[in-house]
Amino acid sequence: MGVKVEFEKMEGFHKLKSLWRIEYKVTTLEPLLTQAATEEAKEVVDSVLGKTIPKDLPDAVPLIYEGKVVITGNAVKGVFRHLISSQLREAGVFICFQEVKGPNPVGQCPPNNPCFACTWFGTPSRQGALHFSMLKSKEPIEKVLAGDPIPMIAIRDDYGAIDPKARAFLLLAPVKENVEFGGWIKGENLSDEIIGAIKEIQDMSEMGFVKFGGFKTRGFGSVKIEVVKIEKYSTVPFKLEKEYSGEDLKKFLEECREKYHDLMIRGKGA
Ligand SMILES: [Zn+2]
């Protein structure tokens, strides 16, 4: 189950000590399908593909917003939370299991004593200290879609990612490899540990272990994450306190990762 290991507590939401803006980019290493899309999005993709496909419309297409492909902040947050939580559990650090279904969610942490994951990512009843922006493709949809839709025979698991009424033969119109997305994470009163956890995910992604979207078991969704800039703002008064980029950023991220590793070592030792 894991033990309660001391981690650097957040100031709490009643006091705003620092504000953070972590800018990052994401590059697809594999084709990517973000989520089930509306009929309207399918029509857009169909006309972008501009060829006759052996179905009326593709079954799964990326989410589109203002002509760009997007990955929702919530989807990104889910991937980050899952990776950090499961890693910390493996290290023996107590992380609650949230049961969000049903009228009375059980297992979530009490507001006055949240676990590491609930502190930073929130609980069903309370916002966490991290907020994830939408990730947007740098280039418009016409430039980022794979040229040909990918045919596939669906297995039951795939239905979760698409229209449940979809037939067994699917045509997927994913984002191609090597497409760049940009976005940012906003944070309140962040600790070195949580910034180090984000750096840890960046490291995992470089080896292909971070996946977004659907059809993950079919060779979809691997992305490379790279933090490009971190800004720290003081709040009284509100002003930019420090901007990390280039070598500065590299050094800062490595220091933070060290703090995050220390937290895991305390889990093992406890
Ligand atoms: Zn928790």
Distances (CA, A) of 198 to 88, 111, 147, 257: 13, 23, 33, 8
pLDDT one digit per residue (tens) for the chain, 270 residues: 577 777 887 666 678 899 999 999 999 999 998 765 566 677 767 777 776 666 667 777 888 889 999 998 988 999 999 999 999 999 999 998 876 555 555 667 887 788 999 999 988 777 889 999 999 999 999 999 988 888 887 666 665 656 656 557 778 888 999 999 999 999 999 999 999 999 999 999 999 999 998 788 788 899 999 999 999 999 999 999 999 999 999 999 999 999 999 999 988 776
Confidence at residue 74, expressed as pLDDT on a 0 to 100 scale: 87
CA of 257 to the centre of ligand 1 (A): 21
d(CA 7, CA 120): 12
CA of 119 to the centre of ligand 1 (A): 7
CA of 153 to the centre of ligand 1 (A): 39
CA of 148 to the centre of ligand 1 (A): 43
Confidence at residue 119, expressed as pLDDT on a 0 to 100 scale: 92
| Cα-Cα-Cα-Cα dihedral sign, residues 161, 100, 186, 65 | positive
Confidence at residue 28, expressed as pLDDT on a 0 to 100 scale: 97
d(CA 105, CA 193): 28
Q: Where do we find the tokens 């220390």?
A: 262
Rounded to 10 degrees, the C-alpha dihedral 177/207/213/244 comes to -90
CA of 190 to the centre of ligand 1 (A): 17
* Residue 26, strand partner residues: 181, 225
> Among candidates 202, 199, 204, 196, which has minimal Cα distance to 260?
196
Give the type of residue at 84.
Answer: I
CA of 32 to the centre of ligand 1 (A): 30
CA of 85 to the centre of ligand 1 (A): 9
CA of 114 to the centre of ligand 1 (A): 5
CA of 183 to the centre of ligand 1 (A): 26
CB neighbours of residue 163 within 10 Å: 15
CB neighbours of residue 80 within 10 Å: 22
| Cα-Cα-Cα-Cα dihedral sign, residues 80, 85, 88, 93 | positive
CA of 248 to the centre of ligand 1 (A): 33
Q: Write out the H or E segment, with its range, that includes residue 150.
A: strand 150-153
